[in-house]
Structure 1
């Protein structure tokens, strides 16, 4: 459901000259001198991870608070560097991306300010006929791999905790963009975000086995995706940030209560998105955007720090982060 970046540490070299990329979407009738311009850079093409922001545009929630919000698709290399450099106000990112960014040789001054989906809805998907109903059974199978240390560390742990030998998994370098087609070739298993690709396989009538990471080990219930911004921006624009998150939260609450209407709004702003898939995905994510929480967007400090402890122990970040890298202070109180 999102594009994994091949390198999380190369972003800081890609800051300059990236602002003009992608196709912007903003609210009709806004942009007068009294409104404050806010740019949001997505992580990938528009999808149901982003619906709450499109709802806030369509329903005028941003406009009501004096914001002229523009949503843009990302540059090659990702969006996080843009907010770090002050070239955009907000970006869709992931906890597993923010950690390396904070601990790089040239750290990015960024922070997560809201969880878009409360729990990790990713895992390993395969056709049921392959019989991969536990991680150990990935042995001897062709797994489509992004070939990143982060991915290999998670896969190694879940396979070995299940009594398997990760070295026996056939890693096939492949950035899958069409899971349905890939699973019907020589690819046996792939990492998916179930709210999009898993739902798509259901609509296609494919019988599948799905291994959710958060069920295999609670450490892997990390926050992916999140909304992130630059620390300097927050210091200088506290009230604007609060307004943006207030309207955005309202958009996601609407999507939770009205998934079919929210899907129609997403497709209106991104007509390349299939309405049937968007609707089914919205119905799935209506139960996941805030899950059991009372309020959309809040991040649990224990889950956040536990995952960063794991990243540090697996040499995926160069120093401990504990509870660094997020704040709930700008969400509606």
Structure 2
């Protein structure tokens, strides 16, 4: 009788155990099926501005938040348009290029929700020793312009602040994609670059250059570039998903700061066409720029954000005046 009872107990335990395993597998399967899909659109081909995204994806940080994230290339009309349409929930943009769509009847329904890099690391690069280490030196030189109103207004501001005459700068309409070749060939003399990529590229190539940063000349130009933007309807309808996404991305950028080489390897694995030496050198530079002097990654300082848009307002560079604290939010960042 005791043996029969023991056998019945063991059988019951096995049935319970199998049921529990089955239930656990079903729960795991349900969890996988219930992952929320998020599309992130880049501003350009993959580079070290984007590393934190790829680290978060590779290390499973998105998975931990119950997210399935697809990182896509931008369409011809750019990341902003795709995010505004709702076909992508997040993307990369820039405070200066966002400006025309922040307010007015044709306002674009997007919001900057995180700063990728804390300070503006862009400026003007030129061949070394040709006098363009300061803005006044651009007089009589060929500058590769995008022919954008805000761009030219900023150039005029820094040249004149240095006592120069902006009308004497030769504006060459050009979209330079290889700064090293453009400078070596002397097709242009000066180019607006982001130092973390194009500036580092000249160093890796052994090309000696001069450089000045916009933020060092006019503090109003220490604006946020690049930023992560999100679709406004998405933020309204799924704020918790937005927070989960940014929590994972924050971890990715923090890892890139902690171990630049590992982060560079992850980016190169995702985009094998990239120059490994350039990626590693750029990653080393950016490890000190992602957070810089902020308390944490992603934070947007309202004072600095407002300062740039106030400058645009004062110089009539927007169709409608941009009110302060417009176009960005720190609400979705991890607390």
Work out which of the two has the higher radius of gyration on C-alpha atoms and give 1 or 2: 2
Q: Which runs of 4+ in 1 moved over 6 A?
A: none
Distance 2:199 2:316 in 1: 30
CA distance in 2, matches of 1:307, 1:88: 27
Return the alpha-carbon distance in structure 1 between the equivalents of residues 231 and 315 of structure 2: 27
More helix per residue: 1 or 2?
2
Cα offsets for 1:82-106 (capped at 9, x unmatched): 2222111101001112221123541
Residue 331 of structure 1 is matched in structure 2 by 333
Q: Deviations over 1:150-200 (max 9, x none)?
A: 110000000001110000000011100000000012311000100000001
Once the two structures are TM-superposed, the CA of residue 315 in structure 1 deviates from its matched residue by 2.2
Residue 179 of structure 1 corresponds to: 179
Q: Find the counterpart in structure 2 of residue 232 from structure 1.
A: 233
Aligned to 1:315: 316
Aligned equivalents of 2:216, 2:109: Cα separation in 1: 32
CA distance in 2, matches of 1:74, 1:313: 32
| Aligned mates of 2:295, 2:137 — CA distance in 1 | 38
Aligned to 2:81: 81
Deviates more, 1:315-324 or 1:93-102: 315-324
- Give the gaps of 5 or more residues in structure 2: 1-28
DSSP-derived class of the 1:223 partner: coil
Paired with 2:315 and 2:33, the residues of 1 have a C-alpha distance of 50
1:316 Cα shift? 2.1
Which position in structure 1 is the counterpart of 2:7?
none
Greater shift, 38-47 or 78-87, is seen at: 78-87
Give per-residue Cα distances to partners, 1:4-57, cap 9 Å, x unaligned. Answer: xxxxxxxxxxxxxxxxxxxxxxxxx9x942211000000000000000000000
Where 1:331 maps in the other structure, the secondary structure is: coil
Could you say what secondary structure the match of 1:206 adopts?
Answer: coil
CA contact (8 A) 1:98 1:111 kept: no
Q: Tell me the CA shift for residue 204 of structure 1.
A: 1.1
TM-score, normalising length: structure 2: 0.89
RMSD: 1.5
| TM alignment of 1:246-285, pairs within 5 A | 246-285=247-286
Provide Cα deviations, 1:227-270, integer angstroms capped at 9, x if missing partner: 00111111100110000000000000000011011000001111
